[in-house]
Structure formats: C-alpha cells, structure tokens
Amino acid sequence: MKVNKKTFLKIIGITIPVLLATMLIAIILTQVVFTIKTSPLKVEGVTWDATDTIEYTVERFQSGTMFDYEHAWSFNGKLPSDDPNDFIDLYCWFEVKNTGYIDQYTMDATLKNAENYSENILFVTDANAVMTSRVWRKSSKQACIILQVYIGNLDENQIRELISGLTLSVEAQGDYFGTRHRTVSFDTCDNVSIENVRSNTYD
C-alpha cells in the first residue's frame, strides 16, 4: 500500500507531538512528581541518658525556651515518675532518597501519628535537629527523629507495639519544583533494638 506524501506528513505531524507529549509526561513524573522516596530503617531505644535529657527538656518547656525543633506531645507539665528506669529515648531512623537528576531538597520530619500508647510519648525532636537536612540529586540521606517516652507502665512487648504504630511526616522542599510530602510507617520495621533498663543489655 502506497502512502502519498500528504498522508505521510499528516502521520508525522500527529506522531511527533504524541511522542513529545509522552516524553514530557515521563520527565515530569520521574523528575518532578515521584523523585522522593522514603522508608524506615531502624529504631534504637536508649535508656542510659534518657532521664537527664528529659529533665533538661522539661526545664526548657517550663521556662518557655524549647527549641523550634522540639515539641511536647502528651506532656502535661509534670513527669509521671521520678524513677530513672521509667524513661527511654527512641531514635527512629529512616531514609529519604532523591531519584531525580534536576531538583535537590531540604528535608525535615516529625511525628505524625502514634496509634499505640500515644499518651506515653512526652516529647518529640524533629529530624533537622539531628542530621544535615540536604538531600542532593541522585542521592539518599539517613535521618531520625527522637521520642522521649515514659515506659513505667509498659513492658517490652508494649514498647514494640508503640514503635510499630508510629508514622512520621516527611517534608522535602525542592529548590525548583516545590514541596513533596511523604509518610514513613514503622509497622514493617524489623530492626528494633531496645535497651534493657534493668540489666543494661541490648536485644
């Protein structure tokens, strides 16, 4: 079947814009919309300095001098216990990956939700207080938020339940294409280490 010149040019005129539009959509999706990926890494529960750090946080809370990256979660003005074994610092580590070649991001994260034993979480320290927040092109960054938690009424299994119910809110501010919002859920995080407050060992 012979195709005349007019028909051929018409086909080309349709095909080229379709191909260009497809390429543009692919670029937008891969380099603008879906460039930021997040995943949980591990949770480390530390008790050896938990009492000192939470007392210092309470002092700043009561004097109104808390840092911008610190937030009271369920703290009501008084610690629920004087026993130093009743507190733990949970370091919740996660990864932010920038798969794009164009934009780079300034990242921060905080606690979004706690499904289990939320009332035991006293204070939250955001990610930008702990690690450098810049995520460069085609790179990844590990960061963490810190939870100061009362565990006087929890056993180890309940502490793990608390951890599995945590969801973080991650905000990545791009230099060119605006802000991306992601969440990190720890319900599938198997790498959890909790210091034994009674024997100072780790599991």
Query: What digits encode the pLDDT tens for the residues 98-151?
Result: 887 777 788 899 999 999 999 999 999 999 886 666 776 777 888 999 999 999
| φ/ψ of residue 142, rounded to 5 | -95, 135
DSSP letter (8 states) at residue 200: T
Residue 189 in 3-state DSSP? Answer: coil
Kindly state whether residues 23 and 43 are assigned to the same domain. Answer: no
pLDDT category of residue 177 using cuts at 50, 70 and 90: confident
Local confidence band at 84 (pLDDT 50, 70, 90 cut-offs) = confident
| Domain residue limits at 24 | 1-33
Q: Does one domain contain both 184 and 98?
A: yes
Tell whether 27 and 41 lie within a shared domain.
Answer: no
Residue 163 is predicted with a pLDDT of: 97
Instruction: Measure the N-to-C terminal CA separation of the chain; round to a whole number of Å.
Output: 75
198 pLDDT more than 50: no
Cα–Cα nearest to 90, from 183, 17, 194: 194
130, 166: one domain: yes
Per-residue model confidence (pLDDT) at position 24: 63
CB proximity list for 130: less than 8 A, separation 6 or greater: 143, 144, 145, 146
Extract the tokens encoding 114. 């706690």
pLDDT tier at 32, thresholds 50, 70, 90: low
What is the tally of structural domains in the chain?
Answer: 2
Residues 93 and 146 reside in one and the same domain: yes
Q: Tell me: pLDDT of 64 over 90.
A: yes
